[in-house]
Structure 1
């Protein structure tokens, strides 16, 4: 008996009706999200956020089983899942109806109605279960611990104690204020992330994923390690619109990983390259993933400012991957390979090149700092219009409907963890625990910025092992962001530092989700793929420390300050990547690799004296390599008797 048949019992909703209901909810959510643009009137915050959270929770209950297995289109929906979806929609409608009242009430002063307590409790329970299904147990369990902490404060040891909360005050905090479920994370999800997730779904449906792969093979297909370089380039390109490391691996890796293996790369290395390159997609503008939108809201700057500051760090990240692949390929003799489908890629590029035009338009609109709702709407209209240039990319009514449903399902993967993270953040702030932890971190680190940065990195990586990127970033930002600013780190640089490590947790063992997804495609060991992904990403671990120390890498400051920073940063990551790959104009001995690696680290610092020392070390290694190469050529050229 199939799983779908086993699930269809008394009261179960047939699969075709489930798909219809998902479609209705997805289209209704999309209409509400764009309603202010059509009417010229903004919705009340709670109206928009309540519908956003409730509708996405309903989608989760209809698309993900209690076991965590994704529902097939033919699966019937058990009555308990249908009931949970209906209750989530009821919560959405209730809180949407309270928008006007909540916009005028005062938190902690005005009355909390009995129905607020009923629907608030119901929403929290539903969110915890939806989060467990879509994001795993860790975040849901953490939220449960903090809910208990909110009530048990007076009975805890002095280090953790607080005044505690009444049930009424807890509900007031979580569902009737902007400090809990409907706080910054969900606001970013509804007012920013949703539009770009939808754009990504439309682009993918029109063939953008294949377009990026074709473009990458056209550029790199006939070079050393061409298949792996194509994976780096295509993953970076697709990551600019997907904003999800695992999604990037699953879309891009199914093409690139088998080709890498066919051209001589080991399965573990092929999976690791794809995982590391796909992870970098969340670091690459114009769409950097949900956490970047939350970052913009937390710091209080336009998203375009965040994307602009991230240009150089993202470029350095991908430069290091490209150089490492080239070095690895030359060391192992993986030269240009005729297996790669370059001719087919050129034909595909000619067929789909026009899909790049809406992406260019979106970048322009973002640079002009238009509202993200307007940017999303115009870009969607452009994608649909441009898609009709070729039959192979054309988006008809059915394809548009499928893209809306796919976009709504993608939005749920951001909205639900964001709402649950809001529960945690609300308790942390309201109980004073966030302030206590900030003081503790400052006391431990003393005046050492480096120690504080290392502590922030470790905390963020640990959180990222069990949470989605956005949730890990937000919790870490609340805990250590103020402490970094207290040590003189500018807000944007400090939060980008935390954001980078929340992203890099996707390739940091023991829970390296992007690497595990890639290993599933390559058929290689999960653990070995995760470890190699981490080693490949090491230059990426240095970049955040560099831009905290040198704001020029964030394009902050005059041009004469920015250019030297970018130049030395580029030389630094090239040196580190070549040392990791073990080849620079010839195979590198272990001692030369060590000198080159340390030289790269020194060059990435803002101290000119250390830059010179690092440059001198790298130049010495380069000189020795040229000497060995010339000597080897001379020996080879000697006549034989």
Structure 2
């Protein structure tokens, strides 16, 4: 089968700009109002991040939640076509949420002075805050997360009546409301702080880059690199989704973004619909493992653990590469099994040409990574990255409006020096340059379209942040329950008691807990919940701190691939025109590395570039790192051959069982299991080589 380049390339960004309401806001007057509220929300977040507006952290968090409530209810009602009555209720709930934020602003100092002794009106506003957040979470994400958070809130109120050891000393209603709705332990805790600072900025950053053409850049580079190879269509999906993961914070959003292009492409080239959907789901969820953004969990993890951001990235980088290498290997084997080939190279876009045409889009991402790894805070790095992206977008249309190439070069040089001046003059220099470029775009051809792109990016960024922000607010109730009652200790003691007899069993129990809690819950709240409950228990069993948190993070991501919920797979279902459950079963096979790597890292922390473990103590740090990477790669390769049933030729059942046994023993990391695993791997590969050579000789004789 052959296809032209025009058939496989996605629509250009300019096509998106033709719709002034591309951010999925209704086209009515109400929709336009909501769109401008979203723009103001984004501008407020930028202003507070850049310290243009200076407010106490508690007030910033309260306004963040207030904006979330103001947008969620009317936007959901309008997008679902509800009648006037429901819309009136929605606006009533929205204004109630705003009232809570205004109350926190007006009463900021008095609330500090009467902390622990709330007035009646404090309790009323606290109840309104909790009620609106629960309702917002329900209408936006379904019942799972509100039910879980509601159980924890009920435990605060009624847990004293439970039998030991589940009971606590008891807390009255006003104490619980005061703890949850005020201060920094409940809904305004660390999750909402991170949402109101780092996460929102990085969502905006990704929104601007996507609209500026980053998706097309990633797709063209992927097509140019591997589109011609065996199974090239699926390999394009793996690479483009991995690249999207560097700027995107949502795996499910990646499925519906890149999947619109990659899934039909895979189907055209012969991949089964379920497998095509599984590849895209697995790759998109893996994007949350890929630094620098990591689905925004990296920032929450760093803040929770009190460590530098780059420490989280250091722990994530090798597992992320192994995850995508595993998915790449799986689609390579599937293509070999069914004889699936790629596009003719002459019909594919040039990767080098794509980079030459849009290399400037990589600059903000490169600067972002540089700042994060040189000790700057994520808040500062995100602000600078977003400002540079704005400069590129706004400056691009101004440069195109200049009459000749020489003036364009001079313009970009001057703009480059202006952007570099932030090292001396701070964020003010970038803000001045941005204001000048906005004014310039009012007078150049195409400038209004560029300004419309910026407006749409601001609105879409705010809209994208809604489920993340609401999730961060409601999981604050769970964390508040932990800090108020010490509930995590009960579960932790159970995990530790199991671990005394078997660390492996305690890890399996933790894995199951993460996957069950993750059903229907986004990755960020799932990580926060499971790390609060299971993280301390794994630490008590001797698992390094960051490894224990990465363990629960990985299985929180995989919860979106595992049945019965499998959000990413069901999102891919309509695109692939296949059952979400069938896609989920394929995704589990493709994502095998995701299930394997966390266990291997617990037994050998060097896989996450951490000190500790018997291997590092006896061999030294870097030899241990090299060994575990080689062993993990071999285990993944064997597992892929066993699952797909192909390695240079179709495998017999006993060969697949042998490969499975070899892979499993390499993973377990018990005494002599490595030796057994290498021996079984050598036996498997040796007999495969001999049988292939015998088959080749037989074919030669036949000729």
TM over 0.5: same fold?
yes
Instruction: Indicate which of 78, 84, 87 corresponds to 1:78.
Output: 87
What residue in structure 1 maps to residue 217 of structure 2? 211
What residue in structure 1 maps to residue 274 of structure 2? 268
What residue in structure 1 maps to residue 29 of structure 2? 17
Distance, in Å, in 1 between the alignment partners of 2:210 and 2:83 is: 23
Instruction: Indicate which of 434, 439, 459 corresponds to 2:513.
Output: 459
Deviations 1:113-144, CA, capped at 9 Å, x for gaps: 33321211111111011100111111112222
Q: Are the aligned partners of 1:29 and 1:51 in contact in 2 as well (CA < 8 Å)? A: no
Displacement, 1:375?
A: 1.2
| Pair 1:27 & 2:39 matched | yes
Q: Are the aligned partners of 1:107 and 1:173 in contact in 2 as well (CA < 8 Å)? A: no
Distance, in Å, in 2 between the alignment partners of 1:73 and 1:197 is: 28
Instruction: Indicate which of 552, 576, 586 corresponds to 1:522.
Output: 576
Q: Once structures 1 and 2 are overlaid, which stretch shifts more, 153-162 or 52-61?
A: 153-162
What residue in structure 2 maps to residue 384 of structure 1? 390
CA distance 1:41–1:384, shift in 2 (3 Å): closer
Distance, in Å, in 2 between the alignment partners of 1:532 and 1:442 is: 34
Displacement, 1:531?
A: 1.3
Displacement, 1:414?
A: 0.8
What residue in structure 1 maps to residue 426 of structure 2? none
Instruction: Indicate which of 132, 140, 148 corresponds to 1:142.
Output: 148
CA distance 1:275–1:162, shift in 2 (3 Å): same
CA distance 1:242–1:37, shift in 2 (3 Å): closer
Q: Are the aligned partners of 1:32 and 1:48 in contact in 2 as well (CA < 8 Å)? A: no
Deviations 1:189-219, CA, capped at 9 Å, x for gaps: 1222111111111111111112111111111
Distance, in Å, in 1 between the alignment partners of 2:497 and 2:675 is: 34
Displacement, 1:553?
A: 0.9
| Pair 1:627 & 2:690 matched | yes
| Pair 1:293 & 2:293 matched | no
Q: Once structures 1 and 2 are overlaid, which stretch shifts more, 391-400 or 257-266?
A: 391-400
Q: Are the aligned partners of 1:575 and 1:600 in contact in 2 as well (CA < 8 Å)? A: yes
What residue in structure 1 maps to residue 324 of structure 2? 318
Deviations 1:45-98, CA, capped at 9 Å, x for gaps: 211110111111221112213xxx845899998211122222222212222334
Distance, in Å, in 2 between the alignment partners of 1:28 and 1:584 is: 56
| Pair 1:235 & 2:231 matched | no
Instruction: Indicate which of 361, 367, 385 corresponds to 2:367.
Output: 361
Distance, in Å, in 2 between the alignment partners of 1:171 and 1:76 is: 30
| Pair 1:220 & 2:231 matched | no
CA distance 1:417–1:218, shift in 2 (3 Å): same
Distance, in Å, in 2 between the alignment partners of 1:407 and 1:14 is: 16
Distance, in Å, in 1 between the alignment partners of 2:296 and 2:108 is: 25
**Does the residue aligned with 1:465 lie in a helix, a strand or coil?**
coil
**Does the residue aligned with 2:376 lie in a helix, a strand or coil?**
coil
| Pair 1:56 & 2:68 matched | yes
Distance, in Å, in 1 between the alignment partners of 2:39 and 2:106 is: 20
Distance, in Å, in 2 between the alignment partners of 1:568 and 1:106 is: 58
Distance, in Å, in 2 between the alignment partners of 1:70 and 1:638 is: 69
Distance, in Å, in 2 between the alignment partners of 1:348 and 1:74 is: 47
Instruction: Indicate which of 94, 104, 107 corresponds to 1:95.
Output: 104
Instruction: Indicate which of 109, 113, 122 corresponds to 1:116.
Output: 122
Distance, in Å, in 2 between the alignment partners of 1:341 and 1:270 is: 22
**Does the residue aligned with 1:478 lie in a helix, a strand or coil?**
helix
What residue in structure 2 maps to residue 170 of structure 1? 176
Displacement, 1:315?
A: 0.6
What residue in structure 2 maps to residue 559 of structure 1? 622
Distance, in Å, in 1 between the alignment partners of 2:473 and 2:346 is: 44
Q: How does 1:423-442 map to 2 (within 5 A)?
A: 423-442=477-496
| Pair 1:197 & 2:241 matched | no
Q: Once structures 1 and 2 are overlaid, which stretch shifts more, 293-302 or 487-496?
A: 293-302
Distance, in Å, in 2 between the alignment partners of 1:466 and 1:221 is: 34
Q: Are the aligned partners of 1:61 and 1:85 in contact in 2 as well (CA < 8 Å)? A: yes
Distance, in Å, in 2 between the alignment partners of 1:198 and 1:71 is: 25
Q: Once structures 1 and 2 are overlaid, which stretch shifts more, 579-588 or 603-612?
A: 603-612
What residue in structure 1 maps to residue 552 of structure 2? 498
CA distance 1:445–1:233, shift in 2 (3 Å): same
What residue in structure 2 maps to residue 46 of structure 1? 58
What residue in structure 2 maps to residue 153 of structure 1? 159
Distance, in Å, in 1 between the alignment partners of 2:47 and 2:623 is: 46
Displacement, 1:313?
A: 0.4
Q: Aligned residues, how many? A: 622
| Pair 1:576 & 2:639 matched | yes
Displacement, 1:221?
A: 0.6
Displacement, 1:416?
A: 0.5
What residue in structure 2 maps to residue 8 of structure 1? none
| TM-score normalized by the length of structure 2 | 0.83
Instruction: Indicate which of 182, 185, 190 corresponds to 1:179.
Output: 185
| Pair 1:539 & 2:571 matched | no
Displacement, 1:277?
A: 0.7
CA distance 1:77–1:308, shift in 2 (3 Å): farther
Instruction: Indicate which of 290, 304, 308 corresponds to 1:284.
Output: 290
Distance, in Å, in 2 between the alignment partners of 1:608 and 1:236 is: 36
CA distance 1:306–1:101, shift in 2 (3 Å): farther
Q: Which runs of 5+ in 1 are unaligned?
A: 1-12
CA distance 1:28–1:553, shift in 2 (3 Å): same
RMSD (CA atoms):
2.7
What residue in structure 1 maps to residue 431 of structure 2? none
CA distance 1:350–1:259, shift in 2 (3 Å): farther
**Does the residue aligned with 2:265 lie in a helix, a strand or coil?**
helix
Q: Are the aligned partners of 1:270 and 1:522 in contact in 2 as well (CA < 8 Å)? A: yes
Displacement, 1:172?
A: 1.3
Q: Once structures 1 and 2 are overlaid, which stretch shifts more, 153-162 or 572-581?
A: 153-162
**Does the residue aligned with 1:310 lie in a helix, a strand or coil?**
helix
Q: Are the aligned partners of 1:153 and 1:162 in contact in 2 as well (CA < 8 Å)? A: yes
Distance, in Å, in 1 between the alignment partners of 2:157 and 2:346 is: 61
Q: Are the aligned partners of 1:556 and 1:562 in contact in 2 as well (CA < 8 Å)? A: no
Q: Once structures 1 and 2 are overlaid, which stretch shifts more, 448-457 or 620-629?
A: 620-629
Distance, in Å, in 1 between the alignment partners of 2:358 and 2:244 is: 14
Q: Which runs of 5+ in 2 are unaligned?
A: 1-24, 401-444, 612-620
What residue in structure 1 maps to residue 133 of structure 2? 127
Distance, in Å, in 1 between the alignment partners of 2:273 and 2:352 is: 27
Q: Are the aligned partners of 1:47 and 1:98 in contact in 2 as well (CA < 8 Å)? A: no
